[in-house]
Structure 1
Amino acid sequence: METAGYVTLTRQSGLMREMEIIAHNMANAATTGFRQQGLVFSEYVKAVHDGDSLSMAAARVKKTSVAQGILTQTGNPLDLAIEGSGYFQVETPNGIRLTRAGAFNVNSVGDIVSSDGNRVLDIGGAPINVPPGEADVKVAADGTVSLGDQLLGQIGIVEPEQGADLKRESGVLFQTDAALAPSETGLVLQGHLEGSNVDAISQLTRMIEVQRAYEMGQKLLDMDHERSQTALQTLIK
């Protein structure tokens, strides 16, 4: 395949990946704690002997938005939202993961768990247990969990070091190899949930732009293919 066709095909592949991410974002516009993602396109420029330089764009890096989602009051004592930066820590079968989805409850043995059944961890990485049958749990802005005068633990609000890569493991769970530190600005709001931070209007606009760019790229590929076919037929004659 000619260089121009290869460059266009690479660009088309990146646009398809971006379209998939946009569709996933829009499908989760109402998912509690969902974080919008996008693609970062990198441009590679290479000198070409006896000719112009070759420029190629590739979509290789996913970027997660850290914008605050809308906070909604629910009144449920174990619905928790983070106002500001930071993430809840939950214990999954694959290790500790981060999330902004705070629709928590208590399991059969009294541990505070996520909607997926993963145990919510305190600031030291241990689960927090609530005595069976107790519903009057209070959670302070610093994550401290108490029942009357009894201190039960402190929900850990952490954030990875600046510039760390967050890898989405599922819809609302993230994994990182970076060091975690207590959030300095994140506050816990009891009886609230944070909605998705997906900007549906901007995502719809971008979807239209990507669709048009893909269609244009497809036309260029078709033209390049026709040109190659014509050249081949000329040589055969």
Structure 2
Amino acid sequence: MTDAISVSLTRQSGLLQELSVIANNIANASTDGFRREAAVFAEFVRELPEQASASMGSLRGHYTDLSTGTMRKTGGALDLAIEGAGWFGVGRDGDVLLTRAGHFMLDNEGNLVTPMGDPVLDEGGAPVTLPPNTSEISVGPDGTITADGFGVAQIGVLSAEAEDLVRAGDNLWRTTGALRFEDTPRVRQGFLESSNVSPVEEMARLIETQRLYEAGAALQTDEHERIQALIEALGRN
């Protein structure tokens, strides 16, 4: 395998993974609270004696854009969004996970849960539970829940360091570091935070990445044909 093909294959592998990342972003453009990802490439350049330098690019990781999405008014009593920093706490298998998707509902026991059935946690880490037959639910900016005029719970709004966040699936995150409570949370009732994916920008990235991938494939084909022609020429001599 020649240096040209080796370099191209390394780049192609990274571009294929970037295409997967972009496709996932586009698929989640309408997912509430979703955070877009981007691929991070690195380039290694080595100087060769009496030759042009060799350059090799490869995928080195992924970057998550944690900027907030736009607020969309729904009017739903249990649709909640956080303005600024912070995450809703969600319990799953004994762990505290984080989400920005605030489309919640009540289960048969009156627990506030996500669409997947995971309990939403209060400021003490316990599931938020509302009294049975509650007719009017109000949520204050600090996350305090009032049921028929009586305060019953306060939704926990948590913070974590960006570098400690890891995707946990189902639009949830876990942190490898410490969790802390937001001192001045800003919760909005009747709103949902949209995904921060821009479909137009992602489509532009998709087209650009596809063209780069096709260019690499063409380079490999040309190099293969060059080597084949050389071998055939040597065989005739």
Structure 1 length-normalised TM: 0.90
Question: For the residues of structure 2 that align with 1:123 and 1:91, how far apart are their CA atoms?
Answer: 12
List aligned pairs for 1:18-57, cutoff 5 A: 18-46=18-46, 48=48, 51-57=51-57
C-alpha change, 1:216 and 1:189, in structure 2 (3 Å) is same
List aligned pairs for 1:1-237, cutoff 5 A: 1-46=1-46, 48=48, 51-93=51-93, 95-148=95-148, 150-161=150-161, 163-184=162-183, 186-237=185-236
C-alpha change, 1:224 and 1:193, in structure 2 (3 Å) is same
Question: For the residues of structure 1 that align with 2:181 and 2:220, how far apart are their CA atoms?
Answer: 51
Question: For the residues of structure 1 that align with 2:18 and 2:183, how far apart are their CA atoms?
Answer: 33
Paired amino acid for 2:15:
L
Q: Report the more deviating stretch, 137-146 or 180-189.
A: 180-189
1:94 CA displacement: 6.8
1:60 CA displacement: 2.8
Contact 1:85 1:185 in 2 (8 A): no
Query: How many residue pairs are counted as aligned between the two chains?
Result: 236
**Which consecutive residues of structure 1, in runs of 5 or more, have no partner in the other structure?**
none
Question: For the residues of structure 1 that align with 2:20 and 2:94, how far apart are their CA atoms?
Answer: 26
Contact 1:97 1:175 in 2 (8 A): yes
Could you say what secondary structure the match of 2:19 adopts? helix
Q: Report the more deviating stretch, 7-16 or 223-232.
A: 223-232
Question: For the residues of structure 1 that align with 2:189 and 2:66, how far apart are their CA atoms?
Answer: 21
1:159 CA displacement: 2.1
Q: Report the more deviating stretch, 226-235 or 29-38.
A: 226-235
Question: For the residues of structure 1 that align with 2:203 and 2:60, how far apart are their CA atoms?
Answer: 22
Question: For the residues of structure 2 that align with 1:171 and 1:70, how far apart are their CA atoms?
Answer: 20
C-alpha change, 1:215 and 1:165, in structure 2 (3 Å) is farther
1:41 CA displacement: 1.2
Paired amino acid for 1:180:
L
C-alpha change, 1:46 and 1:119, in structure 2 (3 Å) is farther
Contact 2:134 2:148 in 1 (8 A): no
Question: For the residues of structure 1 that align with 2:230 and 2:177, how far apart are their CA atoms?
Answer: 54
C-alpha change, 1:64 and 1:185, in structure 2 (3 Å) is farther
Paired amino acid for 1:196:
S
**Which consecutive residues of structure 2, in runs of 5 or more, have no partner in the other structure?**
none
Residues 99-120 of structure 1, C-alpha deviations (whole Å, 9 max, x = no match): 1110001111121101111001
Contact 1:18 1:39 in 2 (8 A): yes
C-alpha change, 1:234 and 1:159, in structure 2 (3 Å) is farther
Q: Report the more deviating stretch, 26-35 or 196-205.
A: 26-35
Paired amino acid for 1:98:
L
1:230 CA displacement: 2.5
1:193 CA displacement: 0.8
